[in-house]
Structure 1
Amino acid sequence: MSFLFVMLTYADIQRKVQQEIGSAIGFNLPPELSDMPDFLYLSAIVTENPITAAAGGPYLTTDEGVYEGYYIPKGSMILANSYAMLHDENIFPNPTDFKPKRFTKSGVISGDVLDPGSVAAFGFGRRRVMQ
């Protein structure tokens, strides 16, 4: 839904990504995952607009600890603040501006700006495999 919101809100960006897809595969075929290397601008849009809703659940600590001077007892409920993590101006300059080009440089995805997905978009903590 957030991707659709962005496309409806930023018509100029929508036109650019439509042109990119049309130039790469034509306008009569649906894109496939194997086409992603040809979609630099679309990749930048997806990177600029990470999905964070799944990362918002509560977690219980399995041990006691200290974080930045705060004592956290075992069994404490912790809520990760994805919004604050993804809007830290020290890591993401002008975080409220929608600028997919910040992730591209010289025709490739650039490593100059940290990928938000590596910070908070895919959840926190250990993964538990259910048997």
Structure 2
Amino acid sequence: MIEPPTWIDMRPKPIPTMPREVRVAKWWLYTMGGIALILTVVVFVLADDDGAYQAGGQAASMLPVLVGPLLGRGFATGTNRLRVGTIVCASLMIFFALRAVAEGYSIGLLQIAGGIVLITQLACGPAKQWFARPAAHRV
């Protein structure tokens, strides 16, 4: 026969810390978003009347990258929907970057690498566990 426990642990459970993979993805979103914002401003400032179309094309290829920091803000309290949404945004980042590379913009290579890093970091087990944690552990 199994004996009942002699005492019940009523202490609150410790709040889990964000896994390294999620922190890397968050840092990567912020870094790429900052670089994209700076490069977009520089491209528009340096573009003359003839290069406005090309500047707009390059800026349009960075739209998913500019959305990234907004998604990264929710990593501390987000659910699995945020993780899947960020993976979809990273996929769009790769798709838009392929278009940019095809048109001759070399910044697309950085976007492709960034999208691959984001997808691999957010598709791993610790990231799944982090975004699937109970609501009581979300700060």
Q: Do Structure 1 and Structure 2 share a fold, with TM-score over 0.5? A: no
Larger helix proportion, structure 1 or 2? Answer: 2
Bucket of the pairwise TM-score, normalised by the shorter protein: under 0.3
**What is the TM-score normalised by the length of structure 1?**
0.28
Larger strand proportion, structure 1 or 2? Answer: 1
**What is the TM-score normalised by the length of structure 2?**
0.27
The structure having more radius of gyration, on CA atoms, is 2
Q: Indicate the structure whose relative CO is greater, using CA pairs within 8 Å and at least 6 residues apart.
A: 2
